[in-house]
Structure 1
Amino acid sequence: MSSTYSTKAYAKINLFLRLCGKYPNGYHRLFTLMQEVSVADDITVTIDPDEEDEIVVANCMEGLRQEDDLCYKAAVKYLDLIDARNYGKITIEVTKNIPSQAGMGGGSSDAASVIKLLQKRFKSPLTREELTKLGKDLGADVPFFFYGKSAFCEGIGEKVTPCKGLSGLPMLIVKPREGVSTPVCFKMCDENPPVFDEMQYKQDIKDILDKDFDPAKRVGAAADILINDMQGPACEILPVIGEIIRDLQKTAPVYVAMSGSGSAVFSIYETEAKRDEASKNIKGDHLVIPCETI
């Protein structure tokens, strides 16, 4: 008899994103705060133990080989790691709500969610540290989703430190129809790398965001030093990102920035009413998503 497991795969935004240099292997060393938001994909994993061992992604993206699907890779790596045998047919279904090419970690969250559901099926054989290592092999954003909510992420993203929560912040996400190539954006950053005192920056950020204020006041107090080093290059690649940021800055937000390497822009507000009023002033043919931090 088959068993079905379901969960929400929440998106993330990067409250800030600093590039701190590169490792010898070419990967960028980051310092960022990732924050889960209420936009989510729906993930379902169905396991039929009476069938032959097989992994199927039921609604794989058109034009993508199943073997290249991140959820498929996540299931394969997980089952190999726990040395699973005779598990039957595993069918993965993903209902997408998180926009792609947005800098919101949709694919990474989906992959982490598949692993979490398999953990449930196999009675949690892996520790969080083992899950983090597995996630790193799949993608830089994946480890964060084993922690969720609010966390500082360092290294290439695999060094995750949960921090004081920023839940309940009303937010607008505005995503232009076009995306930004992450490799191209990184290459532009490398041509003019940011220079700053990394240790002082980390201390300043943590001092402000750790204060005993409500989330909106903490974000507002830190706004002047919340920097996404990829935002400038992304705006050069796709100028509409800058236009969206300027439009949102006119709506009395607590803070506005691009998430990750784009192209989604988020805007945080003190109240839902201010957020909903701001949504009426968005110009252009963009995807507009009201949501909140969780």
Structure 2
Amino acid sequence: MRQLLVEAPAKLNLGLEITGIRSDGFHELKSIFSTVSLSDSLTVSVDPGVSGIKLQCSGVASPDNKTNLVWMAAEAFLKAAGISENTAVTVSLHKNIPSPGGLGGGSSDAAAVLLALQKLTETRIDLASLGESLGSDVPFFLLQTETAFVTGRGEILEPVKLPDFHCVLVHSGENIPTPLAYKLWDDNAGDLTEACRISNYTARKFGAWHEGKPFPVKLDNQFLPLLRSRYRGIDLAAEELSRLTVNWGLSGSGPVLYALFRSGEEAKDAEEYLAGKFPWVLRCQSR
């Protein structure tokens, strides 16, 4: 038996704009994805000569069956590589990333499994296409870059550089399935204002961030006004974050919100201020 211990990082959406719906039903988007130090841990093992998939989960609640993207990724890899009948896969997943959260945890886990299995089996297959079939965020995590400008349904990726940051993540307790958030957008897209359009990531000089200027990316997210008007917890979290900094936003389709800070000390102060107000508050930083 061969095994690898791998990390699956969370990501933040530094701004998110939906530009339309494709003919295949997926939404076109523009966003900047940036990984942070929060991550899940996975031990991936392969055992030649036998078959089957086994998934063990700990930490944040996660299904240990075929509905988990980890299982789907392992199953898809074995099939694509043509080794389903003579290779068994066991994955031990310790989950730290809340789900749903808008942090890409499930997609990151899936990408980590695909990359680990490629190394363990020494099999070369098209992971990009495989990842895209599993989920729109998986291609970003397969790229293994810290930050990227993302378009299409999430498969068009341009690595970019941004200044380092510290951040505080806030989960207000609502459970907002991703399909529900997109349904809200479908029903209300005409009411969104121009203020929800994200700017090009080169709009501001990076150095100005550490000189006290706003973060060099516009952090508006088109899901935020839709969710604030329907979920009191998200509205309260947004109010609290706006008191601390102008550099805050919603990640993905939520419900996790974030605030960005220049120093760890600023982030620590914010974490202590928010800790008693919401069910889950975590301080982390860019990778």
Q: Is TM more than 0.5 here?
A: yes
Q: Is the 8 A contact 2:62 2:95 kept in 1?
A: no
> Could you tell me which residue of structure 1 aligns to residue 256 of structure 2?
264
Structure 2 counterparts to residues 1-294 of structure 1, below 5 A: 2-50=1-49, 52-59=50-57, 64=63, 66-84=65-83, 87-123=86-122, 125-126=124-125, 130-147=126-143, 148-166=145-163, 168-193=164-189, 194=192, 204-208=199-203, 211-213=205-207, 220-222=214-216, 225-251=218-244, 253=245, 255-282=247-274, 283-294=276-287
State whether residues 177 and 286 of structure 1, in contact with CA within 8 Å, keep that contact through their aligned partners in structure 2. yes
In structure 2, C-alpha distance between the alignment counterparts of 1:231 and 1:214, rounded to whole Å: 26
Q: Distance in 2 between matches of 1:180 and 1:72?
A: 23
Give the CA deviation at 1:44.
0.6
Q: Deviation per CA, 1:41-70, whole angstroms, max 9, x where unpaired? A: 0011112225x1111112399794722221
The structure 1 segments of at least 4 consecutive aligned residues displaced by more than 4 Å after TM superposition are 60-65, 195-198, 214-219
Q: Letter of the aligned partner of 1:103 in structure 2?
A: G
> What 5-or-longer segments of structure 1 have no aligned partner?
none
Q: For the residues of structure 2 that align with 1:95 and 1:219, how far apart are their CA atoms?
A: 38
- Residue type of the alignment partner of 2:271: S
Question: For each residue in 1:113-172, what CA deviation from the matched residue of structure 2 results, as whole angstroms up to 9, or x when unmatched?
Answer: 00010011123513xxx3222111001111110123100111111111111144x31110
Distance (Å, rounded) in 2 between the aligned partners of 1:98 and 1:12: 10
Aligned to 2:10, what secondary structure does the other structure show? strand
Q: Alpha-carbon deviation of 1:212? A: 5.0
C-alpha distance in structure 1 between counterparts of 2:87 and 2:121, whole Å = 13
What is the RMSD computed on CA atoms of the aligned residues? 2.6
Number of residue pairs the alignment of both structures matches: 282
Partner of 2:92, secondary structure, is strand
Q: What is the distance in 1 between the residues matched to 2:210 and 2:133?
A: 35
**Residues 183 and 208 of structure 1, relative CA distance in 2, 3 Å threshold:** same
Shift of the 37–53 alpha-carbon distance from structure 1 to 2, 3 Å rule, reads same
Deviations 1:231-267 (CA, angstroms, capped at 9, x unpaired): 111222322112112112222x351111111110100
2-structure distance, mates of 1:238, 1:98: 21
Q: Distance in 1 between matches of 2:174 and 2:5?
A: 31
Distance 1:181 1:217 in 2: 38
The AA in structure 2 aligned to 1:133 is S
SS in 2 for 1:244: helix
Distance of 1:116 and 1:107 partners within structure 2:
14
Partner Cα separation in structure 1 for residue 194 and residue 154 of structure 2: 19
1:181 Cα deviation after fit: 2.5
What is the CA distance between 1:217 and its match in structure 2?
Answer: 6.1
Counterpart contact for 1:208–1:221, Cα < 8 Å: no
TM-score w.r.t. the length of structure 1 is: 0.87
Shift in Å, 1:278: 1.2
